[in-house]
Amino acid sequence: MFEGLLAALTPSLLLYLCIGVLAGILVGALPGFTATMGAALMLPFTFTLEPAEGFAMLAALYVATMFADSVPACLVNTPGTPSAVATALDGFAMTKQGRGQAALIASCFSALIGTFVGGITFLLLANPLTDVALTFGPPEFFWIGIFAITVIGSVAGNSLLKGIAGGALGMLIGAVGISSTGAVPRYTFGIPELLGGISIVAALIGIFAIPQVIDMVRNRHADPHVADFTKRKGTARETIWGLARRPVNVLRSSVLGTAIGILPGAGSPIASLVSYNEAKRWSKDKASFGRGNIDGVVASEAAGNAAAGGSIIPLVSLGIPGSAPAAVILGALLLQGLKPGPELFSSDATLVYTFAWSIILAGVVTFVAGMLLSGSLARMVLIPVRLLAPCILFLSVIGAYAIRNSMMDVYLMLGLGVAVYFLAQLGFHPGPIGLGVILAPIIEPALVESLSIAQSSSAVEVFFGRPLCIALIVLTIVSMVWVGVTRYKDARDARSAARMEPPEVPVPQADQTTSESVGSR
Partner 1 sequence: MSTHTEARGPRVSIDLLAAVSLFLIAAVLLSQTGDGVRDWAMPRSLCYLVIGVGVVLLVKGLVRPGEKVPLIPPVVRHKGLDTAFFITAAVAYVLAIPIFGFWLSSAVTLFGLSVALAEKRDVRAVLTSGVTAVVVCAGAYLLMLHVFYVPLPWGSLFE
DSSP line for 4-16: HHHHHTSHHHHHH
- Of 125-133, 234-242, 393-401, 493-501, the window that binds partner 1 (rule: CB under 8 A) is 393-401
Residues touching partner 1: how many (CB under 8 A)? 73
CB 256 within 8 A of CB 124: no
- Of 146-154, 401-409, 471-479, 496-504, the window that binds partner 1 (rule: CB under 8 A) is 401-409
Q: Give yes or no for residue 521 binding partner 1 (CB under 8 A).
A: no
Of residues 218 through 237, those in contact with partner 1 by CB under 8 A are 218-224
Local structure of 242: helix, strand or coil: helix
The C-alpha atoms of residue 267 and residue 264 are separated, in whole angstroms, by: 7
Closest approach of partner 1 to the CB of residue 30, in Å: 8
Of residues 31 through 70, those in contact with partner 1 by CB under 8 A are 33, 37, 41
Q: Give yes or no for residue 175 binding partner 1 (CB under 8 A).
A: yes
Instruction: Tell me the β-bridge partners of 186.
Output: 177
- Of 102-110, 196-204, 327-335, 380-388, the window that binds partner 1 (rule: CB under 8 A) is 380-388
Of residues 490 through 509, those in contact with partner 1 by CB under 8 A are 507-509
Nearer to partner 1 (CB atom), residue 174 or residue 314: 174
The C-alpha atoms of residue 17 and residue 6 are separated, in whole angstroms, by: 14
CB 5 within 8 A of CB 353: yes
Q: How does DSSP classify residue 320?
A: -
Closest approach of partner 1 to the CB of residue 241, in Å: 30
Of residues 236 through 265, those in contact with partner 1 by CB under 8 A are none
Q: For the range 389-392, what are the long-range contacts, defined as Cβ-Cβ under 8 Å and sequence gap of 24 or more?
A: 389/213, 389/216, 389/217, 389/220, 392/76, 392/78, 392/209, 392/212, 392/213
Q: Considering only residues 209, 240, 410, 472, which one is a binding residue for partner 1 as defined by CB under 8 A?
A: 410
Q: Considering only residues 210, 273, 313, 433, which one is a binding residue for partner 1 as defined by CB under 8 A?
A: 210
DSSP line for 16-81: HHHHHHHHHHHHHHSTT--HHHHHHHHHHHHTTS-HHHHHHHHHHHHHHHHHHTHHHHHHHS--SS
Q: Considering only residues 161, 372, 477, 481, which one is a binding residue for partner 1 as defined by CB under 8 A?
A: 161
Q: Considering only residues 20, 53, 57, 162, which one is a binding residue for partner 1 as defined by CB under 8 A?
A: 162
- Of 56-64, 321-329, 348-356, 443-451, the window that binds partner 1 (rule: CB under 8 A) is 443-451
Q: For the chain, how many helices (H) and strands (E)?
A: 24, 2
DSSP line for 389-434: HHHHHHHHHHHHHHTTT-HHHHHHHHHHHHHHHHHHHTT--HHHHH
Q: Give yes or no for residue 401 binding partner 1 (CB under 8 A).
A: yes
Nearer to partner 1 (CB atom), residue 164 or residue 324: 164
Q: Give yes or no for residue 454 binding partner 1 (CB under 8 A).
A: no
Ramachandran sector of residue 382 (left: φ over 0; alpha: ψ -120 to 50; beta: rest): alpha
Of residues 308 through 347, those in contact with partner 1 by CB under 8 A are none
Q: Considering only residues 52, 171, 333, 438, which one is a binding residue for partner 1 as defined by CB under 8 A?
A: 171
Q: For residue 177, report the phi and psi dihedrals to the nearest 5 degrees.
A: 110, -175
Nearer to partner 1 (CB atom), residue 113 or residue 165: 165
Q: Give yes or no for residue 195 binding partner 1 (CB under 8 A).
A: no
Side-chain half-sphere exposure of 307, counting CA atoms within 13 A: 34
Closest approach of partner 1 to the CB of residue 448, in Å: 6
Nearer to partner 1 (CB atom), residue 63 or residue 420: 420
Nearer to partner 1 (CB atom), residue 426 or residue 477: 426
Handedness of CA 505, 511, 515, 518 (dihedral sign): positive
- Of 82-90, 116-124, 170-178, 311-319, the window that binds partner 1 (rule: CB under 8 A) is 170-178
- Of 280-288, 332-340, 343-351, 389-397, the window that binds partner 1 (rule: CB under 8 A) is 389-397
